[in-house]
Amino acid sequence: MKFENKEINLKDGRKAILRNPLISDAEQLIKHLQITCGETDFLTHYPEEYDAMTVEGEEKWVKSSVDSPNVLNICCEIDGYITGTCHIRFGDKIKTRHRASVGISIEKLYWDLGIGSAMFTELITAAKARGTEIMELEFVEGNSRARHLYEKFGFSVVSEKPNAFKLKDGTYLREFYMQKHLRY
């Protein structure tokens, strides 16, 4: 899905651009996945699980995501560098098209600047434009920054999955499932 570029003001006075990922971003997007997955245990992958990704494969993914009617990908660029990405995936089956799932990852150096909030504002706008009834997401225990962001935007925990993540050191983490009900 297409997204019209939007300039945002960050909490530290810098400006950033929210925009669709471009085919020319492919290499940076792979690095972004590896960086963010190495910075916390809050995402589903370890960085090396992206080692097999190729620039060509990522280019195809970018093209198909912009062409898809059911997924909107937005990245945040600061001075030519991709600092974060987010997406909303709309259900496209009769029984699930009232729902949409969202995901977000921002590199640590750029946390707490308001990028997550700006992205969530856009994801909610997109969901409303689509007529989505329920937005949904998951986060793992300990991710208090993410939980704060999601609750600020009206998401509530509705269930939890024990032992959802098992880290390399054997630690199990619970996953929380949240929903936001959109009212029209």
- In whole angstroms, the minimum distance from the beta carbon of 18 to ligand COA comes to 12
Question: φ and ψ at 80, to 5 degrees?
Answer: 85, 0
* 48 to 87: interface string for ligand COA, x by CB under 6 A: ----------------------------------------
How many CB atoms lie under 10 A from the CB of residue 136? 17
Residue 90 touches ligand COA, criterion: CB under 6 A = no
**In the sheet where 6-9 sits, what is the strand order?**
6-9, 15-19, 71-78, 81-90, 99-106, 134-140, 172-181, 156-166
Residue 35 touches ligand COA, criterion: CB under 6 A = no
Residue 36 touches ligand COA, criterion: CB under 6 A = yes
Rounded distance between C-alpha atoms, residue 111 and residue 20, angstroms: 20
- In whole angstroms, the minimum distance from the beta carbon of 184 to ligand COA comes to 25
Residue 116 touches ligand COA, criterion: CB under 6 A = yes
Q: Does residue 52 sit in helix, strand or coil?
A: coil
**Site residues, ligand COA (CB under 6 A):** 36, 40, 42-43, 104-106, 111-117, 139, 143-146, 148-149, 152
